[in-house]
Amino acid sequence: MKIRIGGRGSQLSLVQLDLVAAALADRADVEIVSFRTTGDRLSRLDAAMTGKDLFTREIDEALLDGRVDVAVHSLKDVPSQLPLGLVLAAVPVREDPSDVLVSREASSFAGLPAGSRVGTSSPRRRAQILLSRPDLEVTDARGNVDTRIRRLREGNWDALVLARAGLARLGRLDDVTEVLPPSWMLPAIGQGALAIVTRREDDPVRELVEKLDHLASHREVLAERALLGQLEAGCRAPVAGLARTDGKRLRLTAAVFASDGSRTLHEEGKARPKSQRSWGSASPAVCWLAGPRRS
């Protein structure tokens, strides 16, 4: 079988496409097709006015019209509702979803001097940094990982906060100063996970990529995405969530932040899955966390 897998043309996305292609190589003849998405074209000003599918839209459209057979996304970029006709066929083993500090001089987040400039493009990270350290200055940081770290070394910032998963896939964990624990730096919905998407009715391709699925990772991200859907939040909203399998139960931790870190809502819930993948709609834990009393 020959299949075409599509994704963004960024360095990290191409690494992720190569990982999926290598995993499928013994079962199919794989061709990689890269796309420049709306999110890739946005200016800094436009980036503040984001929608919910800026880094996935063009790839999903190519999947729907048959130009590719599989789409590979960073799951944190995927809207809570996929376009009609597409299905999340597989979630491979999830990387550590933690955020990390990359610092020029300080040996830890706590060790950053007051007034230090910390770079991030994420409203969620910004809110949590200011919640913990209102004495820091949080400034915008865009570009790919290499660009941001190079600009850090040039003195644009004193530190960066990035996703550990991206650095791991790029082989750049040596740049990490400190892994920030989810107990206070709660990650983005789906952070560290890959989404492998196919057409719902394309049974041969869907069954092929389902062999790459990791059940625990899939369950966890479906619970997180159900929370995102309940809150009707986009991928750049200051919302965080992390689901973890705890024995036969799933524990979901969630938080919503004021953009300046001045206020936060934080809660946890547990639920037991009813079937192999029963988190596609809102689970009891999600409903409890995102219900009217938490709005």
3-state secondary structure of 231: helix
Residues 6+ apart with CB under 8 A from 239: 124, 189, 228, 231, 233, 254, 255, 256, 257
φ, ψ for residue 43, nearest 5 deg: -80, 170
Beta strand pairing call for 137-139 and 117-119? parallel
Structure token digits, residue 242: 């992390």
CA 204 to chain centre: 28
Q: Please state, in angstroms and rounded to a whole number, the distance separating the CA atoms of residues 129 and 27.
A: 45
> Side chain identity at 69, as an amino acid letter?
D
User: What CA–CA distances, in Å, run from 110 to 76, 129, 247?
Assistant: 27, 11, 33
Q: Judge whether 26 counts as a catalytic residue.
A: no
Structure token digits, residue 169: 């896939």
* List 53, 60, 69, 77, catalytic entry: 77
**Cβ–Cβ under 8 Å, residues 103 and 177:** yes
DSSP string across 26-73:
TTSEEEEEEE--HHHH--HHHHTS--S-TTTHHHHHHHHTTS-SEEEE
Catalytic residues, by residue number, are 77
